[in-house]
Amino acid sequence: MSEARNALVTGGTRGLGLAVARRLAAEGWSTTVFGLDQGRLEKVRAMARSEGLDLHAVRADVTSEESVRQAVADLTRTRPLHLCVNNAGRNLSRLLLRTPRDGGGELLTHPLDDWERTLRLCLTGVFLVGREAAASMVRHEVPGVIVNVSSGLACGAYGQSAYTAAKAGVEALTRTWSYELGPYGIRVVAVAPGVMDGEALREKSTAFPRHARYMEGLKRFVPLGRWAAEDEIADAVCFAADNPYLTGSVIRIDGGGPPGWVP
Ligand SMILES: NC(=O)c1ccc[n+]([C@@H]2O[C@H](COP(=O)([O-])OP(=O)(O)OC[C@H]3O[C@@H](n4cnc5c(N)ncnc54)[C@H](OP(=O)(O)O)[C@@H]3O)[C@@H](O)[C@H]2O)c1
């Protein structure tokens, strides 16, 4: 019997990451997710036990170099890593400039802290985990795969300076790493989903009714007339993981649109 292939999915405690991790584990990958929230990590462990999946949950912060180094080292001490899915990320809506609602006072500007936190999670996190995963693959002489989760908004979108810049960076890293890591037999692919009908969208729409109305209106620009199911995007991640001739590409999977995010 051949040994199980090992996969890592960052941000695999909910949403797309969890859909990808469950799918990989069901297909026979020994799968580990990284996340932060202890309650969610425990839920993943309980789910793995009840469904009999080879699925493990580890607390690791992708924004911390030390945490990523330690977690990837622990994971790969005795076995190689074959697949790394850089999925952890979170959207942030902020205008570059905003006039106060009452029309008076100072022009408000995009806080630097929001910019830096979003870049740290969505871009630096991919850099740190991708770097450690690639180094481990080379040390173990494994022709592995890195799949980076981008977004349909990587081309720019209204009110999304930090997030769009981060995701454009993720696509640039994907191409750059495909050149650098190809000679080691490592493939690097990005998957850029449109909006997903998942927990993240539902939470934001519940918290902000204006956002819910805006998103409903935006749906008419999607030729297929609906948002993606997380499993449909997980399919694309698994395709990227399996196809041996795919590298340096961005798989856009967005139901045909919307092309950008406009007011
Ligand atoms: N939702 C969409 O419509 C959409 C569209 C296009 C692209 N995307 C991209 O798809 C990916 C997944 O999105 P999603 O909506 O499924 O996300 P989500 O439901 O908000 O889940 C985010 C995941 O990232 C983890 N995470 C956050 N900060 C972390 C950190 N510092 N270290 C480790 N893990 C961390 C969270 O874990 P904890 O809960 O434990 O903190 C959680 O598991 C993201 O890259 C997102 O940008 C999403």
**Residue 1 in domain:** no
Question: In the numeric block, which tokens belong to residue 221?
Answer: 């620009």
Q: Is the pLDDT of residue 33 over 70?
A: yes
Say what the pLDDT of residue 62 is: 99
Q: Are residues 209 and 96 in the same domain?
A: no
pLDDT digits (tens, 9 = 90+) for 131-141: 999 999 999 99
**Residue 216 in domain:** yes
Dihedral sign for Cα atoms in the order 83, 30, 50, 73: negative
Q: Are residues 111 and 205 in the same domain?
A: no
Residue 137 CB partners (closer than 8 Å, separation 6+): 80, 81, 82, 143, 144, 184, 186
Q: Are residues 159 and 53 in the same domain?
A: yes
Say what the pLDDT of residue 4 is: 83
**Average pLDDT over every residue of 154-165:** 95
Residue 151, domain CATH: 3.40.50.720
Q: Are residues 166 and 203 in the same domain?
A: no
Q: Is the pLDDT of residue 2 over 80?
A: no
**Residue 260 in domain:** no
- Contact (CB, 8 A) for 250 and 171: yes
Q: Are residues 202 and 163 in the same domain?
A: no
Say what the pLDDT of residue 1 is: 42
Q: Are residues 223 and 234 in the same domain?
A: no
Q: Are residues 68 and 187 in the same domain?
A: yes
pLDDT digits (tens, 9 = 90+) for 169-186: 999 999 999 999 999 999
Q: Number of folded domains in the chain?
A: 2
Give the domain extent around 38. 6-193+229-253
**Average pLDDT over every residue of 38-64:** 98
Q: Are residues 223 and 233 in the same domain?
A: no
Average pLDDT of the chain?
95
Compute the residue count for the chain. 263
Q: Are residues 213 and 180 in the same domain?
A: no
Ligand 1 lined by 166 (C-beta under 6 Å): no
Helices 38-51 & 15-26 angle (0-180, nearest 10): 30
Of 68-72, 90-94, 125-129, least confident by mean pLDDT is 90-94
Q: How many CB atoms lie within 10 A of CB 245?
A: 6
Query: Which atom of ligand 1 is the closest one to the Cα of 199?
Result: 19
Say what the pLDDT of residue 261 is: 62
DSSP at 101: T
Q: Is the pLDDT of residue 50 over 60?
A: yes
Q: Which of the following is catalytic: 163, 179, 184, 245?
A: 163
Distance CA 82, CA 186 (A): 9
**Average pLDDT over every residue of 27-31:** 97
Query: Which atom of ligand 1 is the closest one to the Cα of 121?
Result: 31
pLDDT digits (tens, 9 = 90+) for 77-124: 999 999 999 999 999 999 999 998 777 788 999 999 999 999 999 999
pLDDT-above-90 percentage for the chain: 90
Ligand 1 lined by 171 (C-beta under 6 Å): no
Q: Is 158 a catalytic residue?
A: no
Distance CA 3, CA 164 (A): 39
Q: Is the pLDDT of residue 243 over 50?
A: yes
Residue 91 CB partners (closer than 8 Å, separation 6+): 151, 153, 160, 163, 200
pLDDT digits (tens, 9 = 90+) for 214-233: 899 989 999 999 999 999 99
Distance CA 214, CA 258 (A): 13
Q: How many alpha carbons fall within 13 Å on the CB side of residue 74?
A: 13
Distances (CA, A) of 167 to 145, 153, 172, 180: 19, 7, 9, 20
DSSP at 158: T
Say what the pLDDT of residue 258 is: 74
Say what the pLDDT of residue 260 is: 64
* 57 against 104, higher pLDDT: 57
Q: Are residues 22 and 128 in the same domain?
A: yes
Residue with the smallest CA separation from ligand 1 atom 17 is: 15
Say what the pLDDT of residue 259 is: 63
Say what the pLDDT of residue 200 is: 92
Distances (CA, A) of 103 to 98, 99, 106, 107: 10, 6, 9, 9
Distance CA 26, CA 3 (A): 15
